[in-house]
Amino acid sequence: MELIFELSKVGRRAADVPLSDVPQIAPESFIDKKYLRDELDLPEVSEIDLVRHYTKLSQRNFGVDLGFYPLGSCTMKYNPKINETVAALPEFTGLHPYAPHEFAQGNLHLLFMMQRLLSNIFGMAEFTLQPAAGAHGELTGVMMIKKYFEQKGEKRRVVLIPDTAHGTNPASGALCGFETVTLRSNGEGGVDLEHLEELMSEEVAALMLTNPNTLGLFERNIEKVAQLVHGNGGLLYGDGANANAFLGKTRPGDLGFDVIQLNLHKTFSTPHGGGGPGSGPVGVSAKLIDFLPVPRIVRKGQEFHWSENFPQTIGRVRAFYGNFNVVVKAYAYIRSLGAAGLTRAAEMAVLNANYVKEILKPYYDLPYDHACMHECVFSGSKQVAESGVHTTDIAKRLIDYHYHPPTIYFPLIVPEAIMIEPTETESKETLDNFCAAMIAIAREAKENPQHVKDAPLTTPVKRLDEVLAARKPDVCWKK
């Protein structure tokens, strides 16, 4: 496919702009000449060439509306279009962020109700909707933990993080000045209680526990874990990015979690591809309410107001009150499904993951062969040993079968890891076809390994030098 610069012909235009009917002002009169250029190196194309070029580009892209996206570690499920329609209502999109609260009562009411809904679903005392995404929510949660101990006059410098946690957890702890210490997993993929007991001291501020973890396993000893942390005066932080696995089945607040961050794009169906926008609400137990970010929404009679009158707050963590439109989509999703629907979504997420696990385990190593939650983690070690085919080769070959590859080489404790999350939105037929492709690749790895190592075979671009592309990206057009 040609670059748009290669379609360029001098004099062609996609639009014709009429001459200005006001006096022209020389740019040099208000812009420093060093910032001005006589010519811009832009392509000159007709409207039809422009439309066809970008339409063809869009057809080369892969998205969940086109096919199955089994990307474990970051839920990529189908998002009902009704949510988009609701969020696009002019009453939401047309309101200026600086509008006085008198003119924003409906929107403030929605935010207030969303906080109440999330608090009820997850068993927390209160929620903030400010954080812009999951990792931002983590940072917000750890900031509140730090402020909590500062107010108590305790100098705790350590945060414990299991080796099955999400990769952003250590960064969130470190950004707040904590030393992050790795907590080992046991043979079943859960927290090693003996190691936790060894690490617990008066310097430990919190344990950041991803639950279910990146192996797709729910922490079976969660009550004991909570007792050990709380018994030492620490706080239990929950990475709730994988909450679509337990909606309606259990509430983190009831299990002893003091903080939990959510990813609305994972659990509550708000698209978050291409870098945003996202939303990472954070819920807290009663002891941390005073530290929530400001402004906060308060209700006075029948009216809703912004308030910053919370002396112990960690301050503002996001402009205005977070990514409002994303919250609207999640609110529409929750109200559409209701309590029974959310529970059903969790049941289907778990059923689908276990279905895939059982079908594929004769063909790929399964290091932790337990009932999983939202995702299952295989290993390509068998293929490496038998024919030198690595997990990367399997993932690349899957592209030829018109599936987006799953997460690979994560979690780090599984060699040649293949993390698959079917999500709750996919049908049995889709899962059967995906499993058939994975089985076919396993057979190819035995019978014709070079074929798999050369994949992808059907794409316009073959394998890139990923290290070079990351370190020395070349995005410039050069004639």
pLDDT band, residue 275 (cuts 50/70/90): low
Task: Give the per-residue pLDDT at 1.
Answer: 77
- % of the chain with per-residue pLDDT over 70: 98
Each residue's pLDDT tens digit, 408-440: 999 999 999 999 999 999 999 999 999 999 999
Is residue 222 within 8 A of residue 211, CB to CB? The reply is yes
Task: Report the alpha-carbon distance of residue 416 to residue 163 in Å, rounded.
Answer: 16
> Residues 6 or more apart from 83 whose CB is under 8 A from it?
269, 270, 328, 329, 330, 332, 333, 336
- Beta bridge mates, 159: 180, 206
Q: Tokens 């780090």 identify what position?
A: 412
Two tokens, residue 278: 């996202």
Each residue's pLDDT tens digit, 446-458: 999 999 999 999 9
125 burial type by CB count under 10 A (0-12 exposed, 13-18 middle, 19+ buried) = middle
Report how far apart, in Å, the C-alpha atoms of 42 and of each of 32, 49, 131 are: 22, 14, 38
Task: Give the per-residue pLDDT at 159.
Answer: 98
What predicted TM-score, i.e. pTM, was given to this entire model? 0.90
Task: Give the per-residue pLDDT at 289.
Answer: 98
Higher pLDDT, 17 or 435: 435
The whole-number average pLDDT for the span 176-203 is 96
- Beta bridge mates, 71: 420
- Length of the chain as a residue count: 479
Task: Report the alpha-carbon distance of residue 263 to residue 241 in Å, rounded.
Answer: 5
Mean pLDDT of the chain, nearest integer: 93
Domains (ranges, CATH) in the chain? 1-59 (no CATH), 81-336 (3.40.640.10), 344-469 (3.90.1150.10)
Q: How many CB atoms lie within 10 A of CB 396?
A: 22
The whole-number average pLDDT for the span 115-122 is 98
> Residues 6 or more apart from 449 whose CB is under 8 A from it?
387, 388, 389
